Structure 1
Amino acid sequence: MTDRWEQGMATRRRVLGNAHVDAAEARRTAFDTPFQELITEAAWGHLWSRPDWPFRERSIVTIAILAALGQDEELAMHIRATANTGATEADIREALLHVAIYAGVPAANRAIRIAKETLDGMQEVS
């Protein structure tokens, strides 16, 4: 593996947690290995590993973008990741208020429902 992949895997584990990454790696097949390598190197090894923003800010922006695009599964995953990034419930709420104004109320409404369900599930686990 490349240095970028190694950095990406370390960052991915720090943000998403070992249990999530281990489960994803266990599901990897020959078909999706190139995709997994791409996102580990590009998203996690390059973008999320850049020094200019801490994980909290990257988390907030990612949540807003995923909510605006209606990417429900990824949104829930990144809300769960806030346990590791330092983004708070208030940060999530503020991001989703921005989504309502800049991307539309229906997108924010759906994202708020997902956020509430995900945050409630996180409370049950802790």
Structure 2
Amino acid sequence: MSDAFAHSARYRQGIATRRAVLGEDHVERAQQTSTDFDRPFQDLITEAAWGHVWSRPGWTKRERSIVTIALLAALGQDEEVAMHVRATANTGATREDICETLLHVAIYAGVPAANHAIKIVKQVFGEMDASTASR
């Protein structure tokens, strides 16, 4: 972590929100594997995305999760879609929410984008189900 962000209240809020949404393991892994090259990026997303946007009042984590999945699906950001689908275990967004989200993506961003995202979501759901079953 860079000193400039490590001590800001916005950064501290961001890291707490990031941990609450993505989980301790994900955030720890991101921090452990960051290098001098990508550490400024990690600091930026922690403060800006997680500290400014995800931490704002007004929308629940569930609502932000739904919107984020829709945007990422529309943009074809496959790895990010998968990560945020996994995060629904922490945000409260349901499978029904994600289904409705991807229907909106189909209409407003295109059927191919939604179709591709559905494939990714089904794979992630399968992984999540297998993980739950093995416990």
TM-score normalized by the length of structure 1: 0.99
Provide runs of 4+ in structure 1 moved above 6 Å.
none
Instruction: Give the aligned partner of residue 113 of structure 2.
Output: 107
Q: Residue 116 of structure 1: CA displacement?
A: 0.3
| Alpha-carbon distance in 2 for matches of 1:26, 1:18 | 12
SS in 1 for 2:59: coil
Q: Residue 83 of structure 1: CA displacement?
A: 0.1
Larger radius of gyration: 2
Instruction: Establish whether residue 4 from structure 1 lines up as the match of residue 6 from structure 2.
Output: no
Instruction: Give the aligned partner of residue 14 of structure 1.
Output: 20
Instruction: Establish whether residue 30 from structure 1 lines up as the match of residue 36 from structure 2.
Output: yes
Instruction: Quote the sequence identity (%).
Output: 67
Give the alignment of 1:43-122 within 5 angstroms.
43-122=49-128
The number of equivalent residue pairs is 126
Q: Give the letter aligned to residue 60 of structure 1.
A: I
- 1:13-57 Cα distance to aligned partner (Å, 9 max, x none): 000000111111111000011111100000000100001100000
TM-score normalized by the length of structure 2: 0.92
SS in 2 for 1:30: coil
| Alpha-carbon distance in 2 for matches of 1:66, 1:51 | 22
RMSD: 0.5
Q: Give the letter aligned to residue 86 of structure 1.
A: G
Q: Residue 101 of structure 1: CA displacement?
A: 0.4
| Alpha-carbon distance in 1 for matches of 2:33, 2:115 | 32
Query: Which runs of 5 or more structure 1 residues have no equivalent in the other structure?
Result: none
Query: Which runs of 5 or more structure 2 residues have no equivalent in the other structure?
Result: 1-5
